[in-house]
Copies of this chain bind each other. A is one copy, B any other.
């Protein structure tokens, strides 16, 4: 079931580490159809597609206060308490991401600074399906609140009874998100990107989803709505040596594998015997899992790679750029110093990926598919943008004016040059 690679040559790494290609072009026609309908028929189109795709006829797409109250009753106290603790941890880490304004005087009389401001209107998409992903409500909603976005819209598909899972509604309430809509898939992304009578138009859309949601997000990006991250299946790469516990590694690999048949699971080591030990533990533990069919499929594509040494292990890791990276190694500093490309890193035997998925405090919305080479995971900054400011005194402009004039002249932009000379070569009153 597992694919083994023994000391693969460097030139073959790229091929070994290939992810399955995603071709969403076939989905574009249906996405465009839904978007065009939403742009013209707005709410009516959303109701129609909800009936068509989710199989439910809604009277109101808004979640009412009564439904929120009902959800609060349905969620048990232990889960409420767990969410509250997770919220506190996530808040503590994310609040530390807020930045102070630093005013820099680049030359005398020339002051420059940046100010962090919230993106005013943001949309969060929470998928439906088998698992109610209330943890994603926390991971997106908490930084949105810390950023102080003035309008936070949340969409999640209704089930056959026209309801959203109570845990999702409770998590939303806990954070203070009140504009919640029972809309799923393409129509949710379209409604938030273009706006309808009921759903406010937002400037940036966050959240995971299936291929249709991914294709829809790609398309709204092209027409000017920002998105959090390009999407791909979830991934875990573990580097382990003899200080690692094979049972722990197996448990972590399986926790990734149960996400979906397309999950990417990779184990890298330079300890030959460890591979067999981990494999044995994987086989044992797999049997006990309720989602073993899904996990099995993911394991069929998993890769156990034996490398020569630590240097090759980190080089291969950086080449792959995993979403999640577990370092169960003796020489932690060697690896943490050299890791270049990864979404989130879990260090040591007692830092499983599950911790970051739920409650350590870091965000679980992370770059997949090798995007960690250029993208960061979601943070408070993802919900903000920076504006630069500059203020120059009359004296400051006398200092840098000639520099600007010379450069503008060389770029053959005479009006740029004159915007300086009109200020530096005559008195205010003469103009």
Tell me the A residues contacting B by CB distance below 8 Å: 78-79, 81-83, 85-86, 88-89, 92-93, 96-97, 99, 102, 104, 106-107, 110, 112, 114, 117, 119-120, 130-135, 167, 203-204, 218, 221-222, 224-226, 230, 245-248, 251-252, 254-255, 257-259, 281, 285, 288-291, 295, 336, 339-363, 367, 369-377, 379, 381, 385-394, 396-397, 400, 402-404, 406-408, 410-420, 422-423, 428, 431
Q: A423 to B352, Cβ gap below 8 A?
A: yes
Q: B414 to A245, Cβ gap below 8 A?
A: no
Q: A78 — which chain B residues lie within 8 A by C-beta?
A: 406
CA distance A135 to B428 in the complex (A): 29
Given contacts A112-B362, A344-B389, contact A406 B79 (CB under 8 A): yes
Minimum C-beta distance from A109 to chain B (A): 8
Minimum C-beta distance from A374 to chain B (A): 4
Q: A350 to B392, Cβ gap below 8 A?
A: yes
Q: A360 to B400, Cβ gap below 8 A?
A: yes
Q: A258 to B415, Cβ gap below 8 A?
A: yes
Listed A/B pairs (17) with beta-carbon separation below 8 Å = A78-B406, A88-B106, A93-B104, A97-B114, A104-B361, A167-B411, A247-B431, A248-B419, A251-B423, A252-B419, A258-B414, A291-B413, A347-B391, A350-B396, A355-B404, A358-B403, A376-B385
Q: B86 to A403, Cβ gap below 8 A?
A: yes
**Which residue in B347, B353, B360 is a CB contact (below 8 Å) of A106?**
B360
Q: B347 to A390, Cβ gap below 8 A?
A: yes
Minimum C-beta distance from A346 to chain B (A): 6
CA distance A219 to B175 in the complex (A): 37
Minimum C-beta distance from A127 to chain B (A): 12
Q: B373 to A203, Cβ gap below 8 A?
A: yes
Q: A363 — which chain B residues lie within 8 A by C-beta?
A: 388
Minimum C-beta distance from A87 to chain B (A): 10
Q: A104 to B79, Cβ gap below 8 A?
A: no
Q: A412 to B131, Cβ gap below 8 A?
A: yes
Given contacts A248-B422, A255-B416, contact A351 B388 (CB under 8 A): no
CA distance A96 to B112 in the complex (A): 11
**Which residue in B88, B110, B420 is a CB contact (below 8 Å) of A361?**
B110
Report the nearest B residue to A204, measured CB to CB: B374
Report the nearest B residue to A352, measured CB to CB: B419
Q: A374 to B203, Cβ gap below 8 A?
A: yes
Report the nearest B residue to A90, measured CB to CB: B106
Q: A222 — which chain B residues lie within 8 A by C-beta?
A: 218
Minimum C-beta distance from A123 to chain B (A): 11
CA distance A86 to B107 in the complex (A): 10
**Which residue in B224, B377, B392 is a CB contact (below 8 Å) of A369?**
B224
Q: A258 — which chain B residues lie within 8 A by C-beta?
A: 413-416
Q: A349 — which chain B residues lie within 8 A by C-beta?
A: 394, 423, 428
CA distance A173 to B83 in the complex (A): 54
Q: A226 to B375, Cβ gap below 8 A?
A: yes
Identify the interface centre among A99, A218, A258, A423: most chain B CB within 10 Å of its CB. Answer: A423
Q: A389 to B345, Cβ gap below 8 A?
A: yes
**Which residue in B133, B358, B394, B403 is a CB contact (below 8 Å) of A404?**
B358
